[in-house]
Structure 1
């Protein structure tokens, strides 16, 4: 993907390289997300090239924002410190 082309011009489906660039990760990390099932994708063509639908990528990004927000709220809550205390018992 070239810097001069906005993401909207890439089309409906993105390659692993395009996806990696948009997420600012390596293509290998994008492949790992797809293989683990965390980022849904399809294989197309005779060689089975992975493609990620743009709307699926956007949903994935939104879900990661939500997960981060929830973890932040959890870490700020009183329950987080109670859980840490109750599970961080040192054995004599």
Structure 2
């Protein structure tokens, strides 16, 4: 997170702040927190949720990594399908000769 953003928000972000950063609704962020996918803590007398900026940055980095791995998996899956079809064609040509 940039130093400008840290100065604006402080160390801990409200769910509304997190929603702004992630371009989500506060309800969507609450769902991420409730599921445990986005770690958060309750602070204050009424127990408002707060997300540490470093935790949010780590969450975002993890999502990028997850997307990259998923893309590689899909790429590998399609590569195997193509290889399978090429192998069948080779086998047909060989058996016909």
The TM-score normalised by the length of structure 2 is 0.74
Secondary structure of the 1:56 match is helix
Higher helix proportion: 2
**Structure 1 stretches of at least 4 aligned residues deviating more than 6 Å after TM superposition:** none
Q: Which residue of 2 aligns with 1:7?
A: 5
Secondary structure of the 1:38 match is coil
Q: Which residue of 2 aligns with 1:70?
A: 69
Root mean square deviation of aligned Cα: 1.5
Cα-to-partner distance string for 1:26-78 (whole Å, 9 max, x where unaligned): 00000000000000000001100000000000000000000000000000004
Contact 1:74 1:80 in 2 (8 A): no
Give the greater-gyration-radius structure (CA). 2
Runs of at least 5 residues in structure 1 that lack an aligned partner in the other structure: 1-5, 83-92
Runs of at least 5 residues in structure 2 that lack an aligned partner in the other structure: 82-97
Q: Which residue of 2 aligns with 1:23?
A: 22
Secondary structure of the 1:43 match is strand
**What is the aligned residue count?**
77
